[in-house]
Chains A and B, each alone.
Chain A
């Protein structure tokens, strides 16, 4: 309104606007008035609820008070309960004290009576009851009631004195029983010690008693052992027998006394018993080993052996002499292992580690390690010398494919490894396996290799004659190594030796693996790994022998196969391969080239069949096949053919392949693949067919396109431009 200044012209307009505003305001007012009723109703509602709120508040306060009260009550109650509990435990304690006091009196009277009657069990039981009481509490009790009674303290004194007295008496009686060898009394008083709280003293005393018994027996046994006559059949194992007796004695003691010790002294006490007994065992084992070393001259023998290794010219011993001795050492070692395993089974699981460290540090363990050391030094000598001896005495029998050294050497190797297993020492087995690998890879393989290096003497071959030469030479007591036949025989025998040795090593490896599993059940992973790693050395031996075998076969190829096969195959060059129809018919029935070749091959193989082992014979056929096919390919490529000539070649190659396939168990097809394909090319009717044979989809096709063209051009009836045009 203000934006319009009132003047006559716009008065009406202002009026209009004012009335418009009025209407608007009135509308608003009406609107507000219409809501009055609603607001009033709400206000009324609120005023109605108001008294309730007051009620709720007071109720809430009441409830709160109640809870507080309950809480106080509960606390009161639990305080009472605690008090009650305290009271109850005091009553209990009191009761116990009363009981103790009553018992104390009983015991003190009882112990006096028992001592009087020499009823030590009864007395000890009373003392045991007294000892089970809380000593400090007892003394306090005694002080507490000192004014009223002197009874308690006097009982206490009585019992203390009685305990002291009993300890002395029981110890004394025990000693007496030991002195008079009264085993029943020894055990009787042994059982009383723990009642008097003398566990450790008791065990020590009892064990030292057992130790004296052990010592007596062991000394007696050792003395008997030293007095044994040398012709007695146990003489060679008398020290292992003596040691076995010792171990058996201790094992028996442990076996018998384990129940008493564990019942009267508590379950864990066996280990202490074993530890004490072990000390005596150590002393006796040391004595036995010392006597053994002295009487069997171990140090001197080891010295000789070690010197010999360093200086082979020095004094040497006959390995056979060690045979019995080696056996005896392994028995001793295995008995000690057995004994330790026995004890280990008896010791509680939670004390095993303690037991192990006790045994590992014992003189027994050290002594056994010394023995094992001596054993291994001597076993090494035995193995190496026996093998060398077997190599030196190698002989060849007419009816044998191999010479004597193979069986001899593997017999020795197996014997030594088996013997090491009988020691029950995993380290021992591993060491002997290592030694065996050493000699097989070394001297043995060298011997085979050196013989094969001399090669197979070429020349006319008649083994029957060779054998008779060999026989006469032997009969005349002179072996002429210059004899070619003999050299041939030896070569083949050594080739067989190599082959058979591979087989032997494989068998040895397998059988050892299962024998080791049987000897050492529950082997730990680490030990398993050790054994496996050492056995894998034998696999190394096998691969070395395989290389030697391959080398021998190569020698055979160079001197016996190649020089003979070459002229036979080269005969192909002197045959005309341009054949007319008439000749073709003749070739239907006869194949002059290949039949002669087969006859020659047959003659060659005949000499080796039966002389060579199956696998060597197969290998020979393999290299013969390779030689023949390679040479034949060469001469074929030097010739020219017409179709009939090609057909005949194809036929001849098939005959040759089927002959060679028949004489071996191996497949020769592969070696004939190229030749067969060459023959196919040379025998096609039309040059166009070739595209089908050597197309991209012919998987087994071995010839390159250039080769196919070259071969095709050997057909005189194919025009060179057609060959050039071939799409391959």
Chain B
């Protein structure tokens, strides 16, 4: 047996050029490769992290943003535990496409999937989408929200670590639910979605 207790699949989606590959590289290798070419099909990385002394293995699927790869990338939605939808805070069109991406997610992903909205490139001076606009969008669609900079390594580690922690917690709850003797209190255990609406300043509870 391999040395980990949990295994989760995380899939990154979003328009071409928003920095999905850079986020993954920053997290898995600690690099920011400038002049990154467009991803072809899907790219695949593995990283094992530790959450509350448990080894959690993350399979990270970095998908190509370009339209012609859509058939390939769609096939990865179904088995994803978490979907990171990325836009570029300095590029309005990447934000405008978010509803289309959500439609794709609705269509192909499991309804239990953990969804995170990420505004990348906060190191840039020419911001076009204010933080609260991203937050609002995330809140309206029941998603977690975080702004990151792959270049400055800002919030990248946190993004993936919070996802790992969140998925681990869900898994533990799901496991305890499977045992019939806990059936009496299943109504109170209702997964992550309940905590989203009632947060005050941000579209996310644990990611804030």
**Which residues of A come within 8 Å of B, CB atoms?**
309-310, 357, 360, 366, 369-370, 372-377, 380, 426-428, 430-432, 434-435, 437-438, 526, 529-530, 533, 537, 540
Contacts and interface: CB of A to CB of B under 8 A. Distances in A.
A372 B59 contact: no
A369 B67 CA distance: 10
A435 B9 CA distance: 16
B72 A438 contact: no
SS of A interface (majority) = helix
A434 B59 CA distance: 15
B124 interface: no
Interface stretch (B37-45, B114-122, B155-163, B196-204): B37-45
Interface string B163-200: 00000000000000000000000000000000000000
Contacts of B43: 526
A373 B75 contact: no
Contacts of B78: 434, 437-438
Contacts of A360: 37, 40
Interface residues of B, number: 19
The 3 A-B pairs with the shortest beta carbon distances in the complex, nearest first, are: A376-B71, A427-B41, A434-B75
- Which of B59, B68, B76, B107 counts the most chain A CB atoms within 10 A? B68
B72 A427 contact: yes
B79 interface: yes
A369 B69 contact: yes
A310 B107 contact: yes
Given A434-B79, A540-B79, A373 B70 contact: yes
B46 A431 contact: no
Given A373-B69, A373-B71, 18 more contacts: A310-B107, A357-B37, A369-B40, A369-B68, A372-B71, A373-B68, A376-B71, A427-B40, A427-B41, A428-B72, A430-B42, A431-B72, A432-B75, A434-B76, A437-B79, A438-B79, A537-B79, A540-B79
Nearest to A532: B44
Contact of A370 (B37, B42, B44, B68): B68
A373 B72 contact: yes
Contacts of A427: 40-42, 72
Contacts of A434: 75-76, 78-79
A372 B37 CA distance: 20
Interface in B42-79: 42-44, 46, 59, 68-72, 75-76, 78-79
A435 B75 contact: yes
Contacts of B40: 360, 369, 427
Contacts of A372: 71-72
13 contacts: A360-B40, A369-B68, A370-B68, A373-B69, A376-B75, A427-B41, A427-B42, A430-B75, A431-B75, A434-B75, A435-B75, A437-B78, A438-B78
Interface of B: 9, 37, 40-44, 46, 59, 68-72, 75-76, 78-79, 107
Contacts of A380: 71, 75
Nearest to B67: A373
Nearest to B73: A431
A112 B75 CA distance: 72
Contacts of B68: 366, 369-370, 373
A315 to B, nearest CB: 19
A648 to B, nearest CB: 39
Contacts of A431: 71-72, 75
- Which of B43, B69, B70 counts the most chain A CB atoms within 10 A? B69
Contacts of B107: 309-310
A45 to B, nearest CB: 81
B72 A533 contact: no
Contacts of A357: 37
A593 B110 CA distance: 55
A540 B7 CA distance: 12
A604 B158 CA distance: 61
A376 B43 CA distance: 18
A529 B9 CA distance: 13
Contacts of B9: 533
Contacts of A438: 75, 78-79
A286 to B, nearest CB: 14
Contacts of B41: 369, 426-427
Given A310-B107, A366-B68, A373-B70, A530 B42 contact: yes
Contacts of A376: 71-72, 75
A529 B44 contact: yes
A537 B72 CA distance: 16
A680 to B, nearest CB: 33
Contacts of B59: 533
A430 B44 CA distance: 12
A545 to B, nearest CB: 16
Nearest to A537: B79
B179 to A, nearest CB: 15
A310 B100 CA distance: 14
Contacts of B46: 529
Nearest to B70: A373
Contacts of A526: 43-44
A428 B75 CA distance: 10
Nearest to B59: A533
B7 to A, nearest CB: 9
A580 to B, nearest CB: 48
A426 B79 CA distance: 18
Nearest to B7: A536
Nearest to A375: B71
Nearest to A433: B75
A434 B109 CA distance: 12
Nearest to A526: B44
A360 B42 CA distance: 14
A450 B75 CA distance: 26
Nearest to A529: B44
A430 B40 CA distance: 14
B64 to A, nearest CB: 9
Contact of B44 (A369, A437, A533): A533
Contacts of A437: 78-79
B57 to A, nearest CB: 11
A682 B73 CA distance: 68
Contacts of B69: 369, 373
A377 B71 contact: yes
Nearest to A530: B44
A266 B158 CA distance: 53
A438 B75 CA distance: 9
B178 to A, nearest CB: 11
Contacts of A529: 44, 46
A529 B42 CA distance: 12
Contacts of A366: 68
A357 B37 CA distance: 9
Nearest to B9: A533
Contacts of B79: 434, 437-438, 537, 540
A431 B71 CA distance: 8
A314 B194 CA distance: 36
Contacts of B72: 372-373, 376, 427-428, 430-431
Contacts of B76: 434
Nearest to B66: A369
A608 B44 CA distance: 48
Contacts of A533: 9, 44, 59
A461 B156 CA distance: 64
A87 B76 CA distance: 76
B36 to A, nearest CB: 12
Contacts of A309: 107
Contacts of B44: 526, 529-530, 533
A614 B69 CA distance: 45
A357 B35 CA distance: 13
A435 B70 CA distance: 14
Contacts of B37: 357, 360
A334 to B, nearest CB: 16
Contacts of B70: 373
A136 to B, nearest CB: 39
A441 B37 CA distance: 36
A526 to B, nearest CB: 6
